[in-house]
Chains A and B, each alone.
Chain A
């Protein structure tokens, strides 16, 4: 909040979502794909099967182009985007997990070097050496997931870290293992789905059928593991998180729909994988592409669900999505939010700019003016009394976070609040009034009056 605010028309969260989902699709393929290629080449060597060898070789170029090129750049891309959109959260994560990320970097060096060496040494080294290189790649790639999963899951379920601030408590948080199982399944089925496309290019029909069947097994195992991991993940979530998208009265219907979408996508994918296993001759481009799309749909949907269910936090029970810490609510109510949000105050000086500044500081991390979660649309049907009532309630909810009246098993029970998906409003009376005045100017009647006055 004390950083400059990047004014993105479509919202910073959307940008992070685009970059992150693109990256995870690629990075999980990099892990699962490496494993599948290693497995296939091992079989090819043992069986002296040139067709399987050809499949591994064809797929390895894709692995290089996808993993070491796009995966590496999009991985850096996540750093770039979260630093631009959520600098305070990025700083908090770095201060807690720099050694975890640094360890992952060690694995990444091995991963990149072995990926490049593997591709470069086809037809050059002995098969044993070639297999050694790809299995080292698999080890390094999976270990990087083992580390990173700790940091990703920490943001949703920090668990005991909230009391101890211990690195290990944060990494081995309640959703760590379920998420790891789920992601391992995703790695496997993505590999199966991608490599099936490479297998379909095989001209020898008998060989192709065997490949499709083998890759169908990958996908079925992956789907089952992902499903088990997903259910386990749901099970370990705090009640207040579950309330957001589970149950008959989910707090965020869009997220509840996403959950159904995710489970249906997985079901469709399982059926297509079973079809590939049972009728590999009939499994051609249309069904293979449909399977890949179902895989993407499940994974993208799950990521959306995981990110969305963190609301209103960026690090659950610690930091809100606008960068305000739970621990600083009382202080900011006293000193004023603009005492911290110096950049927002600077961009909108004077009493007339105060409302805009408060909006930029507290609301702009999620709401745009006219784009994503448009504030203009949201305030359009609201009259002044109603708006003041909403803002007063949101401000009072800050006290609930501070007093902990609604806390349950160490978590803030956000589902008991009137506005469970929004950070509380903080600041002085003066700032809240300024915000209300500014929001009222965004209503259509005001715009019409202003235009009429001109």
Chain B
């Protein structure tokens, strides 16, 4: 490995204990990923809503409305993990992004286009017009963004590949785990969006009675989740076996710390498959649809932990001689925690108020 190309550790001490940054990174990344899965999977399902027998327009409308919020939150919740990751691994991350600089920068353009296309689709659908083409381009943008993220993620944790990529940027895609990892990402996103779709349809049906459109939405969502989860099991094992031998061995030898999250994640996936296979009529099985959503979120939680552990193993040798000093900034840390708790509490209060407050008859609305 060409360790000499790894930039030196930042001379400033860490402003907090490393474990705290790891915890904050993983937790905030989990929320980011849930929003990302909604956006990516939702835009794909909206683009392919034509495959649904009924409820196509409702499927598209739901996802463009959801994505108007979810894209904002996916971006907002990207900030925190990006911050905490840079504190711990900035020198690896910056190097990887510079090596594929145009793609990394281009991601911003794609994100802007996709976000505005979502609003275009939203207003077109509200006006009773079609939005199929717009949604396909939007979904394509998000798929490419996912590919760029996977590329940078794989590159930052493998300094041994940097020289090759510096000579030929396309070599960034030649990692044997790229394809299965990318697929892992896409399939999980579609499965989650499918579950969300079915769950929303079930809730709406409970409030307003079952309709053909809601039934079509729910069936399409469950079918999408079933197919992608089935493929995910195959792809998951492909990804595991495609890992570099030393990484795989170290991971397997990690004991309960690494094996428990992985096993629970796989079991959640298997259980998910069983539950999905049992759902013949989603609107008639609301409990099972809810269980599907819970299992998917559960699987994502454990896979995020596994993903983080794998990164640690990948980077173990490159970070072996790291002499990290810590000088905790207690005051600023307390400031962050207070601001975060207060802001999240106020946000929750404001959203609940916005959802529940309705004028009485004869009273003015805003």
Chain A interface (Cβ within 8 Å of chain B)? 2-6, 41, 65, 68-70, 72-77, 79-81, 83-84, 87-88, 90-92, 94-96, 98-103, 105-110, 112-114, 116-117, 120-127, 129-133, 136, 140, 165, 167-168, 325, 340, 342-343, 346-347
Contacts and interface: CB of A to CB of B under 8 A. Distances in A.
Contact of B5 (A88, A132, A133, A343): A343
A129 B10 CA distance: 47
A346 B159 CA distance: 15
Given A105-B80, A125-B359, A127-B364, A6 B101 contact: yes
B11 to A, nearest CB: 7
A126 B363 contact: yes
Contacts of B87: 94-95, 98
15 contacts: A69-B71, A72-B72, A91-B10, A92-B10, A92-B12, A95-B13, A95-B87, A98-B87, A99-B332, A102-B340, A105-B80, A109-B347, A112-B72, A112-B73, A347-B166
- 10 closest residue pairs by CB, A with B: A130-B366, A99-B332, A87-B94, A95-B12, A106-B343, A106-B340, A106-B339, A2-B7, A117-B354, A103-B339
Interface in B320-337: 329, 331-333, 335-336
B112 interface: yes
Nearest to A134: B366
B90 A133 contact: no
Contacts of B69: 116
Contacts of B364: 126-127
Contacts of A167: 15, 329, 331-332
Interface size classification for chain B? 35 or more
A95 B14 contact: yes
Contacts of B5: 342-343, 346
Interface of B: 4-5, 7-8, 10-16, 24, 68-69, 71-73, 75-80, 82-84, 86-87, 90-91, 93-95, 97-99, 101, 104-105, 107-108, 111-112, 115-116, 119, 162-163, 166, 329, 331-333, 335-336, 339-340, 342-344, 346-347, 350-351, 353-354, 357-359, 363-366
A9 to B, nearest CB: 12
A90 B94 CA distance: 9
A73 B12 contact: no
Report which residue of A74, A99, A133 has the largest number of chain B beta carbons within 10 angstroms of its beta carbon.
A99
Given A79-B79, A94-B87, A346-B166, 18 more contacts: A4-B166, A69-B71, A76-B79, A80-B104, A84-B94, A95-B12, A95-B87, A101-B83, A105-B79, A105-B83, A112-B73, A112-B76, A114-B350, A123-B366, A125-B353, A129-B353, A167-B332, A346-B163
B336 A136 contact: no
A69 to B, nearest CB: 5
Contacts of A79: 79, 82
A96 to B, nearest CB: 6
B75 A84 contact: no
B331 A108 contact: no
A107 B347 CA distance: 10
B76 A2 contact: no
Contacts of B347: 109-110, 113-114
A103 B336 contact: yes
A91 B90 contact: yes
Contacts of A112: 72-73, 76
A325 B11 contact: yes
A77 B339 CA distance: 24
A69 B69 CA distance: 10
Contacts of B7: 2-3, 87-88
Given A77-B108, A100-B332, A3 B83 contact: no
Contact of A3 (B94, B105, B354, B358): B94
Contacts of B365: 123-127
B72 A107 contact: no
B105 A84 contact: yes
B12 A84 contact: no
A95 B336 contact: no
Contacts of B90: 87, 90-91, 94
B5 to A, nearest CB: 6
Nearest to A6: B101
A95 B13 CA distance: 7
A79 B90 CA distance: 12
Nearest to A53: B366
Contact of A73 (B111, B340, B357): B111
Nearest to B12: A95
B354 A120 contact: yes
B357 A109 contact: no
